[in-house]
Amino acid sequence: MAGDAVTRTRFAPSPTGLLHLGHAYAALIAAREADPGRFLLRIEDLDAERCRPGYEAAIFEDLAWLGLDWPRPVMRQSERMDAYRAALRRLAPLCYPCRCRRGDIRAALSAPQEGMPPAGPDGLIYPGTCRSRSMAEAGPGDAIRLDAARAFAALGDDRLQFRETAPGAARRPCLDRDGFRTGIGDVILARRGMGSSYHLAVVVDDADQAITRVTRGADLFEATWIHVLLQRLLDLPTPEYHHHALIRDDAGKRLAKRDDARAIRHYRAAGATPQDIRRMVGL
Ligand code: GLU
């Protein structure tokens, strides 16, 4: 935050695979941007189906091998459901339960016009089918959505802003209510079977960890508008954001978890040093 002398950052991987060069880059940037001792680690293990304890252990090991250090104990999202539920309760007056499946949404969106249905940082832009339902009728099979129109009305402000610190990353300096409604829409705050969505959890966690600068890939730039809106609604501070470039493979595709060949530990096994990894990602 402006005026705050300390810069606190975090690296927030999900233990759903081995860390690859893209993660090494993201972790090293987060550590570089932080003041000494203020680089934090957070394990984003909301999706119990896909997360594995073995991958979490591998994360700690690979990061330590890279030369990084962080305060313990680390924050783990799977242990923070109470905090997410409390935030969701606060937002409930601006929310509605949604029973639509992805197929329903696609059908509703593609009925009138041909071509690809519009998508934003939270996936397909929800057409509002369940918007008139009340939270009193929420059932265990429902997702919970934030009504963007009601959210902006509650804010009493129709513009979102945040400070971007990565040179060249700021693709737009602000987003207004109409841009949010047409480009992002009514986002999901809690999914069926999963207490919290990524968006709600990340906002609550960044505030609880007192993160002052969120460093992450440029692919999350547009999602940041969702996070700024949630921060405003929950009276949480908006940190600075640093959206860095993505590490791509030789064909120009961004690395994914399944790109095991680029896993840090495979380079380790082949005799690479942490310095080699830094060189490979251009740091
Ligand atoms: N868990 C997210 C990921 O693995 C991190 C997103 C963020 O840094 O906000 O991409």
Q: Are residues 96 and 60 in the same domain?
A: no
Q: Which residue has the higher pLDDT, 42 or 1?
A: 42
Q: Return all residues near 202 (Cβ < 8 A) that are at least 6 apart.
A: 12, 44, 227
How confident is the model over 210-232, as a mean pLDDT? 97
Atom of ligand 1 nearest to the CA of 215: 8
Tell me how far the alpha carbon of residue 113 lies from the centroid of ligand 1, in angstroms: 34
3-state DSSP of the chain: CCCCCCCCEEECCCCCCCCEHHHHHHHHHHHHHCCCCCEEEEECCCCCCCCCHHHHHHHHHHHHHCCCCCCCCCEEHHHCHHHHHHHHHHHHHHEEEECCCHHHHHHHHHCCCCCCCCEECCEECCCCCCCCCCHHHCCCCCEEEECHHHHHHHHCCCEEECCECCCCCCCCCEEEHHHHHHHCCCCEEEECCECCCHHHHHHHHHHHCCCCEEEEEHHHCCHHHHHHHHHHHCCCCCCEEEEECCCECCCCCECCCCCHHHEHHHHHHCCCCHHHHHHHCCC
Tell me, in angstroms, the distance from the centre of ligand 1 to residue 136's CA: 32
Mean pLDDT of 168-190: 90
Query: Is the Cβ–Cβ distance between 16 and 47 less than 8 Å?
Result: yes
**d(C-alpha 278, C-alpha 274), whole Å:** 6
Q: Is the pLDDT of residue 3 over 60?
A: no
pLDDT digits (tens, 9 = 90+) for 139-152: 999 999 999 999 99
Question: How high is the pLDDT of residue 273?
Answer: 98
Residues 72 and 95 in one domain: no
Q: Which domain holds residue 263?
A: 1-79+248-283
> What residues are paired with 20 via a beta bridge?
263
Residue with CA at minimum distance from ligand 1 atom 1 = 13
In a domain, residue 190? The reply is yes
Same domain, 86 and 69: no
Residues 70 and 105 both lie in one domain: no
Quote the pTM value.
0.94
Domains identified in the chain, total number:
2
Q: What is the pLDDT of residues 226-280, one digit of tens each?
A: 999 999 999 999 999 999 999 888 888 887 766 677 899 999 999 999 999 999 9
Average of per-residue pLDDT values in the chain: 93
Residues 257, 231, single domain; the answer is no
Per mean pLDDT, which range of 114-123, 180-189, 271-280 is the poorest?
Answer: 114-123
- Ligand 1 atom closest to Cα of residue 216: 8
Please tell me the predicted confidence (pLDDT) of residue 117. 75
pLDDT band at 169 (very low <50, low <70, confident <90, very high): low
pLDDT grade, residue 114 (50/70/90)? low
Instruction: Please indicate, yes or no, if residue 214 is contained in any of the structural domains.
Output: no
For residue 134, the CA-to-ligand 1 centroid distance in Å is 31
* pLDDT the model gives residue 255: 77
Identify whether 150 is part of a domain: yes
Q: What is the CATH number of the domain that holds 47?
A: 3.40.50.620
Q: Are 70 and 185 found together in one domain?
A: no
Is there a single domain that holds both residue 198 and residue 255? no
Q: Is residue 23 domain-resident?
A: yes
Q: Is 215 inside any structural domain?
A: no
**Ligand 1 touching residue 13 (CB < 6 A):** yes
- 266 and 193 in a common domain: no
Q: Please, which pLDDT band fits residue 96 given cuts at 50, 70 and 90? A: very high
Mark whether 95 and 72 lie in a shared domain: no
Q: Is residue 43 part of a domain?
A: yes
Considering only CA atoms, which of 91, 216, 203, 221 is closest in space to residue 154?
91
Q: What are phi and psi of 243, to 5 degrees?
A: -95, 110
pLDDT digits (tens, 9 = 90+) for 37-74: 999 999 999 999 999 999 999 999 999 999 999 999 99
- Shared domain for 101 and 179, answered yes or no, is yes
pLDDT over 80 (residue 112) = no
Statement to judge: residues 99 and 33 lie in one domain: no
Q: Which pLDDT score is estimated for 240?
A: 97
Residue 216 lies in a domain: no
pLDDT of residue 250: 80
242 assigned to some structural domain: no
**100 CA to centre of ligand 1 in angstroms:** 26
* pLDDT confidence of residue 257: 67
Measured from the CA of 44, which atom of ligand 1 is nearest?
Answer: 1
Same domain (yes/no): 99, 227: yes
Residue from 42, 202, 225, 247 to probe ligand 1 pocket by mutation (most atoms less than 8 Å from CB): 202
pLDDT higher than threshold 70 for residue 2:
no
